[in-house]
Structure 1
Amino acid sequence: MIRLIASDMDGTLLNSKKEFDDEFFNILQELLNKEIYFVIASGNQFHHLYNQFLPYSDDLYFISENGSFITKGKKELYSFTMDQYDVQTIYDILKQYPEIMPVIGGKERSYIPRQYQAFQEEIERHYDKYIFINDLKDITEGVLKFSIHDPQHHIERYVELIKKSLPKHLKIMTSGNEWMDIQDEKINKGFGINFLIKTLNLTKNDCMAFGDQMNDYELLKNVKYSFAMKNAIPPIKEIA
């Protein structure tokens, strides 16, 4: 019997206009009535996700920041923060590519270098709590991951350029053609779903997941019932 359903957001649960299907919240209420756990598994910021699901948010589980921050509602269950040396290394590498915007994710808010204030409209599509900073010294908490936005929508051009300069324990994961994430190789949505499976005393056979991009790969591999969206990239369709 299915006891947990996990879903990616952009390109999966949301349409191209970032909208829910009209029937979604009625279905969500039915799932909660049947005591089926619903998990949002996303690379997005926790605060942005939490606000999207009000007034149901406190009854849901969130695997946010691609597995770096896991909560039940607002209650933290797990977090992984990056080593400060790695944070500085990534920040220095990204300075070589000023045409793309780095977003440094924390639990409380996200941090964006001040020179990218012109991207505020795009920022507010994805981040509910953020501030502009002058330097890493302005960050007052641990860093969960880096997200990088290419306004020209060709993020794949930067993957190999940046990857060759990264320490081996850090990885790059793309999400569509606009965004990529940099975080520790151990952390992903699959790590997050396994954490919840153990925490909730479930098995993989109890779980179902939906996704469309490479940052969903481990999520789909770690449940029995996995589904790729019609718009999914080929590697996701192959494993679903």
Structure 2
Amino acid sequence: MCRIITVDLDGTLLSSKNKITEYTKKIINLLTKKNFFIIASGRHYLDVIKIRDILNIQSFMITSNGARIYDLDNKLIFSDDLDKDIALKLCKIVYEDKDIITQIYRNNKWYINNNKIDNNFCPSLTSLEYKNFNLENFRFNKINKIFFTSKNFHKLYNLEKKIIQSWNNKVNISFSVPGCLEVVSGKSSKGYGLKLISRLLNIPLKNCFSFGDGMNDHDMLVVSGKSYIMKNADLRLKNALPNVKIIESNDNDGVAKCLYEIFIKNKKNIL
């Protein structure tokens, strides 16, 4: 019986040093022989495909928190952009705040409004080079994600409340990590992407196993038959899903060790 294994990247499959261990590669390669693998990330497609190639597997890719979804042949099967007017207003909302960087994914480009503070955007694995944007001459169409990064978590929590009050279900807003607040269209999410792929493969959600560490993984974990939260996960996620099993941290091969226990240990015939 085929299963779907869905794994977040940062804080989940990737170590805190943005590495994938040889042990993790080995386990995932074993399991993709008879199961379907999904990488589900807030990262841009160009970053996700690079990490997938490091794993040397075929996989579905849910990127930009579900705003872009790709099949096993890298074909785009779902795309949804932020409304242009909403995107413009989102970019204005803290544009002048020097404690917060406003960042944009537009098509295959990455834009930021200032580079005076550390953006902590995993430069060792990103294939993108950012460019600065300004409100006067930027085009606000074809934006798949806007995200706000800051070391001032309190400001980001207040910004989250303000965005929810302004647009409610017209956007999907979540923290990937406490210092990164991400906004996509209301239809886009990792959970929606998992449902879409589940239907395409005709594999029920009860046969889906999902792993995550951030609030942007919440709906994906909720819809999966089996869900697992990393030991290093955001406390808000742990509190929101108190009945979901906590596994080893991302720095201790948590995903791979869990997959070994589920699929391989004492079950050699499953491979």
Instruction: Tell whether the structures are fold-level matches, with TM greater than 0.5.
Output: yes
Q: Comparing 227-236 with 142-151, which one deviates more in the overlay?
A: 227-236
Contact 1:117 1:132 in 2 (8 A): no
Q: Which of 229, 234, 237 is residue 239 of structure 2 equivalent to?
A: 234
User: Could you list the per-position Cα deviations for residues 68-97 of structure 1 after superposition, in whole angstroms to 9, with x for gaps in the alignment?
Assistant: 100125321111011111111111212253
Contact 2:66 2:188 in 1 (8 A): yes
Q: Which residue is 1:175 aligned to? A: 176
Contact 1:2 1:208 in 2 (8 A): no
User: Could you list the per-position Cα deviations for residues 116-148 of structure 1 after superposition, in whole angstroms to 9, with x for gaps in the alignment?
Assistant: 266477473564223322337444860112111
Q: Which residue is 2:48 aligned to? A: 49
Where structure 2 has 5 or more consecutive residues not aligned to the other structure, the ranges are: 246-271
Matches of 1:169 and 1:234, distance apart in 2: 25
Q: Does 1:109 align with 2:93?
A: no
Q: Which residue is 2:39 aligned to? A: 40
Where structure 1 has 5 or more consecutive residues not aligned to the other structure, the ranges are: none
**Shift of the alpha carbon at 1:151?**
3.4
Moved over 6 A (4+): none
Q: Which residue is 1:213 aligned to? A: 214
Contact 1:211 1:228 in 2 (8 A): yes
Q: Comparing 23-32 with 149-158, which one deviates more in the overlay?
A: 149-158
Q: Which residue is 1:25 aligned to? A: 25
Identity of paired residues, percent?
24
What do you get for the CA RMSD once the two structures are aligned? 2.6
Contact 1:43 1:66 in 2 (8 A): yes
- How is 1:134-149 mapped onto 2 (pairs within 5 angstroms)? 134-135=134-135, 137-139=137-139, 142-149=142-149
- What is the letter of the counterpart of residue 174 of structure 2? M
Q: Comparing 53-62 with 210-219, which one deviates more in the overlay?
A: 53-62
Contact 1:43 1:64 in 2 (8 A): yes
Distance of aligned partners of 1:208 and 1:30 in 2 relative to their CA distance in 1, 3 Å threshold: same
Task: Please state whether the residue corresponding to 2:243 is helix, strand or coil.
Answer: helix
Distance of aligned partners of 1:52 and 1:146 in 2 relative to their CA distance in 1, 3 Å threshold: same
Q: Which residue is 1:82 aligned to? A: 82
Q: Which residue is 1:62 aligned to? A: 61
Contact 1:12 1:229 in 2 (8 A): yes
Contact 2:2 2:36 in 1 (8 A): no
Matches of 1:176 and 1:148, distance apart in 2: 11
**Shift of the alpha carbon at 1:179?**
0.3
- How is 1:159-174 mapped onto 2 (pairs within 5 angstroms)? 159-166=160-167, 169-174=170-175
TM-score (normalizing by structure 1): 0.86
Contact 1:80 1:144 in 2 (8 A): yes
Q: Comparing 7-16 with 228-237, which one deviates more in the overlay?
A: 228-237
- What is the letter of the counterpart of residue 180 of structure 1? L
